[in-house]
Amino acid sequence: KAGVTQTPRYLIKTRGQQVTLSCSPISGHRSVSWYQQTPGQGLQFLFEYFSETQRNKGNFPGRFSGRQFSNSRSEMNVSTLELGDSALYLCASSLGGNTQYFGPGTRLTVL
Amino acid sequence: QQQVKQSPQSLIVQKGGISIINCAYENTAFDYFPWYQQFPGKGPALLIAIRPDVSEKKEGRFTISFNKSAKQFSLHIMDSQPGDSATYFCAATLNPSGTASKLTFGTGTRLQVTL
């Protein structure tokens, strides 16, 4: 099976812009979670979607949002970008249990 | 609040040696403890995981030791190889409804295995 894919792999944006990242989970996986990885804060949970419903949310401002489509693909959106949003954004998919498989991430740089 | 504390921050081990990374957790409701390995430019890859009803789990050169009373768990890498050089993250999660839940990660340990 193909692994988790994320697009794009790299993005450069300027402050104030918005960005949309995409994640395609492993075939058959219905749960998609998003994490932010930074050198200072480490790996932090953003949110999790299952069958198009957000089931869990981390402690991030409302500028961070996401959605999941009927084919389990997921997108996350960050509006009004700030310099501190520069990070590696990771998507993980799961059948619905504890085991989560991560994609390669999208490296977002905010200038 | 840091719910999973990981140490050391970095570790240098000679080839063939044993690498040991420790983690401690606070939330006694956690019921699943995975370890992830991450190479530069890649996403974390699941290495091995344990549940609290087991005190040890071994997969190849990788072993998790779990101490429920002390709320601690550790990763041992036997016969460490240069290819093991990566950042290792411990994590914990609780899954009461049988559905995927958020992983709480430790801060990571950068392992370097020297020749």
What pLDDT band is residue B77 in, cutting at 50, 70 and 90? very high
Q: For residue A76, give the 3-state DSSP assignment.
A: strand
How far apart are alpha carbons B79 and B61 in whole angstroms? 7
Name the one residue in this structure whose structure tokens are 């450069």: A12
- Determine which of B9, B95, B101, B104 to mutate to test the interface with A (most A C-beta atoms within 10 Å): B101
Helix spans in chain B (H) = none
Average pLDDT, chain B: 92
What pLDDT band is residue A2 in, cutting at 50, 70 and 90? confident
Q: Which residues of chain B are within 8 Å of residue A33 when distances are taken between CB atoms?
A: 100, 102-103
- Answer yes or no: is pLDDT of A82 > 60: yes
Check the CA dihedral A30-A42-A22-B37 and report its sign.
negative
From the list B41, B99, B102, which residue is nearest A45 (CB)? B102
Q: Which residues of chain A are within 8 Å of residue B101 when distances are taken between CB atoms?
A: 48, 56, 98
What pLDDT band is residue B31 in, cutting at 50, 70 and 90? confident
